[in-house]
Amino acid sequence: METERAIGQASVQTVEKKWVKVQIYTPTHIFTGYANYRQGRLLDFLNGVSVGGPRINKEFLPVSEVEMKSLLDGSDVKVQSAYSNKANILFVREIESGQTRGLGGQVGHKPYPFVGKSSTVVRLYLPSFTLTGQMQCAKGERVWDVLNSELRFLPLTNVEIYPSAGSSESGVSFIAVNKSQVLSLEELGTPWQSRG
């Protein structure tokens, strides 16, 4: 009986883990590798939010099978693992979503309540990058409220990434932006929903 319980607990822990390929942008490097976090969203993981549990604020983001590209000289280095200090992260994006299988075999079960949102098109200026995209705000919130929330990382969707050197990239569905790295922000409008 104890053996069956231990196997059951181990399989639940294995089922709840999620490996996701991410790109982490810092002022000096872009890290591409795999982040491992429990069932949930990248944004919650970065902000230390645990679904149904206490806040877990870890200062370093562990990544495995990492390719580090220098923004200074263009060199590439591959390492088995690296730890990026969240305070130095400009933004993070998922390259490939991990697939989480919940209990009972359901794929993609989301333990989050639905929250009505609106979006505002913004342009953010960060060291070495300019981002244009839609900032997601909970119903009744404005960009100002999101910027002054307690969360460290903010959601941005439908993003265009403009590095200070190199080519731009558009059509990025989601990134998490470290608000402490935002130098300034411009509101460009709300074409997807009227301000009513």
Q: Which domains does the chain have, with CATH numbers?
A: 2-102 (2.30.30.100), 117-189 (2.30.30.100)
Stretch 104-127: mean pLDDT: 66
Q: Which of 29, 19, 157, 17 is nearest to 93 (CA)?
A: 157
pLDDT value at position 50?
Answer: 66
- Segment 88-114, tens digit of pLDDT: 999 999 887 644 333 333 344 455 555
Most confident of 69-73, 112-116, 146-150: 69-73
pLDDT at residue 119 tops 50? yes
What are the DSSP E strand ranges found in the chain?
A: 17-25, 29-38, 60-70, 76-85, 91-96, 117-126, 129-138, 153-163, 169-178, 184-189
> Model's pTM, two decimal places?
0.75
Stretch 126-132: mean pLDDT: 94
**pLDDT band, residue 26 (cuts 50/70/90):** very high
- Ramachandran region, residue 28 (left: φ > 0; alpha: ψ -120 to 50; beta: rest): alpha
pLDDT at residue 120 tops 90? no
Stretch 63-91: mean pLDDT: 93
